[in-house]
Amino acid sequence: MARLLGRNLILSGGVAHDFARTSSLLVEVLRFCGIESDICEDFAPVEDGRLMDYDMVTLNCARWTCSQPQAPQEWREKWAFSLSDDARKGFLAFLAEGKGMLALHAATICFDDWPEYRKILGAWWEWGHSGHPPFQRQKVLVHTNAHLITKGVRDFEVEDELYIHPRITDEVVPLAEGEWEGHRHPLLWIREYGPARICYNALGHGPEAFEHFNNQVLLRRSALWALKLFGRKREKGQ
């Protein structure tokens, strides 16, 4: 087993995804390169300061206001969510310490009533503009020479849900893309928010993405990059 390189809190849960399974798979993916993770389905650790005990936070969840007309009534009743002021302050304090964030798949939908989050992540889901084709086999086009995270990783195919037409900031430069109806859509990017490092990976609707070797490599490298460790020493499995 790899030596401990960092502690990670996975914020999990939400509608239309098997987050319990995918978060558990992610724990094992990251453990292979020395990152130990805890899974939490509420935001109490962010509100009360316990998040600061971790080196990285991962968003593998779908937590948003459910206020859009497209959201079924049962979603609104069970899953409507607004990040509290204390949680927002907790996130900002965590990132101000230069700690890392790994955001996956539905993270672009999260926290839709917090404008600063769009700046942190670099993109957001806009209902009526953003969307996804049916869950199907798709090709991931990797920009293998764009960054150490993608170096040597070849294009691959995986069963997943391709997110298309996200609203993105000018600073986002994709490291991998998906293609739909002749247009390319960003799937993977990294950015900095003050001293913090942020990585977003749009893959991960189901377990297939977490079980695919190439995406496991991308997830591990992205996490180590967010922890400011990648590039210093190549760990087994990167």
DSSP string, 92-111: HHHHHTT-EEEEEGGGGTS-
Residue 230 — φ and ψ, nearest 5°?
Answer: -70, 135
Over 70: is that where the pLDDT of 234 sits? no
In Å, how far from its chain's centre is CA 11? 10
| Beta carbons of 216 and 25 less than 8 angstroms apart | no
> Which residue has tokens 């377990």?
207
Residue 207 — φ and ψ, nearest 5°?
Answer: -65, -20
> Which residue has tokens 């922890």?
227
Residue-wise pLDDT for 106-140, tens only, equals: 999 999 999 999 999 999 988 877 667 777 799 99
Judging by DSSP bridges, how do beta strands 136-142 and 156-160 pair with one another? antiparallel
Residue-wise pLDDT for 164-195, tens only, equals: 888 888 888 999 999 988 789 999 999 999 99
pLDDT of amino acid 237: 40
| Beta carbons of 204 and 135 less than 8 angstroms apart | no
**Going from the N-terminus, what domains does the chain have, and what CATH number goes with each?**
6-226 (3.40.50.880)
Over 80: is that where the pLDDT of 232 sits? no
